[in-house]
Each structure stands twice: as C-alpha cells, then as structure tokens.
Amino acid sequence: MANVVVVGSQWGDEGKGKIVDWLSHRADLVARFQGGHNAGHTLVVDGEVYKLSLLPSGVVREGKASVIGNGVVIDPWALLAEIERIGAQGVQITPKRLTISESACLILPVHSDLDVAREAAAGNDQIGTTKRGIGPAYEDKVGRRSIRVIDLADPQILLARVQNMLLHHNALRRGYDLKPVLAEELHASLLEIAPKILPFSGPVWKQLDTAARSGKKILFEGAQGAMLDVDHGTWPFVTSSNTLAGQAACGTGIAPNQLNYVLGITKAYTTRVGSGPFPTELDDAVGQRLGERGAEFGTVTGRERRCGWFDAVMVKQAITIGGITGIVLTKLDVLDGFAELKVCVAYTLNGKRLHRLPAGIKEQAEVKPVYETFEGWTSSTKGARSWVDLPAQAVKYVRRLEELIGAPVDMVSTSPEREDVILVRDPFKG
C-alpha cells in the first residue's frame, strides 16, 4: 500500500481540497504538514460546502483520523473557531478524530499585528500576505523564541517563553508605533485557551509511525503550491514554508522512505493570488471569463485571483523539483466553450528562449510566454467520469499537457463534486 503526498504544482488554489477529500475516502489517516490558516480548501460533500483552513480535509469523513504536524503553525483561536464552525455543520471534531503535534508552534496576536504593520509599511512593494501572522510565526520558530503547543501545559515555562518572545516583538512594535504587549496579559489569554487545545495534542510522529508499520494508508496534505515554496518559488513573493513533498517528512516526523507517491494537483489553466510574477497572466476579457467561470476567489481571503493560460514550463519545473509522480488535472470544465486555448511551452528573455523560470526577481518579471495554440471544444465536460464522456479536443488537450510537463495525468476533475473524476491510476495502488 502506498502513502500519498498531495501538493500543488502551481501557485496554490489548484483544487487540492476536493482531491484530498476524494483520496481520504480511501485513506486511513490524513496529515497536514505545513502552512497555517492562510491555506484554504473548499470541499463539496453531498451538496454540503465545507471551508477548511487549518483542519485536514479528512476530518469531514467519519472514521478517519487526522493530524496536524509540527511543520504547521497554529493560531489556537482560529483553530477552535474552525472546529466550532465545522461542528455547526454536523461534523464533531474530537481528540479521537484529530491530533495536533505537541511540537507545533503557535501563531499569536503579535504575529498578525506584525504582518499587518509590515505590509502597510511596504506600500506598493507589498508581498500580498494574508496578514494572518504566518511569516512572523515561522520567523520566531527559526529564531527559537516560539511558543509551542506543549508549552501550554506548564504555566511557568509558558510565562518564560512569553517574556522571551516579547523582548523581540515589543522592540519591533516600537518601530511600527504599536503599543507594547504586556507579558501577563498574553500569558493569561494563553492559559485560558490551553485546556481547549491540550486535549488534542500528542506525538504525531509516533502516531504516524505506528500507522505506517501496521499497513495503514496515510494521505499527506500540502497547502499552497510549488511556486510559493520559500526556497524554490518566485521569491520573495512566496509563502513562509516549504510546500514541496519533501516537507511531508520534516513537517510530521515520518521517515522519508515512507513517502511512496507524490500527486501534484494542477489546474487546467493558471491562477495566482497576491503580488509577484505571472508570465501567462491575462489582463483582458479572456482572463476575466476564466475567473468568472472558475469562481476564482480565495477561500480564506475572498480576494479575486489573477488568471491566465496553462504554463507548462512552470509545471514541469514543479514536477522536477517536487518529485511529482503524476498529476490531477482540475477544473477542465472551466475551459468549455473557448474557441481556442493556449499553453505556454517556453519563455523568451532578452531574445533568448528559456525552458525554466529564472531565479532572479527582475528576470521573472520580464520573461514572455511562447504559446502553442489549441482548438477548443463546444460540448460540456462538466461531470464527466470517463474518457468517453470528453470531447475529442479535450482529450487531445490533456494528452498534449502530459507530453509538455513530462508526467502522466492520473486523474481529471470535471466539477467541484467529489465523484466527478476520471480515474486513470489510483495513487494508493502505485
């Protein structure tokens, strides 16, 4: 049995939520391994819409265990609010259903304050963060001044951690004309929330090792996408964590040799939220039509997504650096009715042809796409569950994408509904 890692192969928002939900039906355990509540997954299950941020997508499935790994930064108040919201929809999240790594670091109000202040001070040079404190929380983790979930269990240690953190943050706050935070007040608010969080905490690494040794199928759920990776993405317009499949091991504590299959979720066109380079962006009626048909608004922020044609160069690069075994092509139905489609097959920069996205920020902004044009299709692909249900031109489009990116299409998603999938290969069977 294969353990499967699900990652995004573009700039996030590829439709991972639906696919993780589809796969979680076949898995025994679902694990989140990076990011925070800046991630957003929308699930549609039996007509019910679930919007998740911190919770693994598997929690909506009865009898499925879920874990939040040490690589995730957790806003405890946001987590409890999400648990309450999902509970109101009939899904009760209990410690039996969810485990949070005792080593995970917390996002506190000082982190979101700093995030907002930095973006405001940046003016036109904003990165476009969700302003939820993700980046500052990861900075504190690397700086060894974080408060971890396990610290909530010891009031004395917790107070020392709070005091140490505020030595750093209050100095920064003075620079941004923000009032200093009193250690006693932050300590008190954490003590108040501790009894609600601690019952969920535990050694996630041990739970995963036990599951793997007993032959359980584990699904590792990534957030964002490869081109938002802090090392390999379009830096500095990236997230604050590693989004590639390798982080599934580091971010949960499972051994790397237990990661058997990497599934890259890939939208049939390209979208991006926030600032940063976007070679195939369409700032015209076609881009607007893609956004409207695809309902391209962020799950977490509600921000309108920038839209453009499929970028095969970028996706091939993501497949290479991420070790992606096969892809799921999502939102194929959004392309229904276009007279012609375009796919970026190379870039040009200063008169030279490139087959990779350069690392320099200036070069990334200046590359121009080289397109291959395809005939579109007029009949609908929405809800298709078999290749025979697709128009011939749609099949041709998918097959050409496989050639360009150098990876097979294992699944095709044709609507937001979980069962509207064309299955070519089951990742759990390798």
Q: Are 414 and 381 in contact (CB under 8 A)?
A: yes
3-class secondary-structure state, position 67: strand
Catalytic status, residue 41: yes
Residue with tokens 């010891």, as numbered in its chain: 154
Angle at 66 between CA 62 and CA 71, to 5 degrees: 160
Residue with tokens 């923000």, as numbered in its chain: 178
Q: What is the distance between the alpha carbons of residues 416 and 334, in angstroms, rounded to a whole number?
A: 11
Terminal C-alpha separation, the chain: 8
> Closest by alpha carbon to 266, among 320, 358, 332?
332
Q: Residues in the chain, how many?
A: 430
Residues near 51 by beta carbon (within 8 Å), at least 6 away in sequence: 40, 41, 42, 43, 299
Residue with tokens 């490869």, as numbered in its chain: 226
State the catalytic residue, choosing from 37, 41, 111, 232: 41
Cβ atoms < 10 Å from Cβ of 410? 19
Q: What is the distance between the alpha carbons of residues 161 and 145, in angstroms, rounded to a whole number?
A: 7
Catalytic status, residue 209: no
- E strand or H helix at 378, and its extent? none
Task: Provide φ and ψ at 117, rounded to 5°.
Answer: -65, -40
The token pair at 306 is 């920038």
> Closest by alpha carbon to 105, among 208, 202, 167, 36?
36
Residues designated catalytic? 13, 41
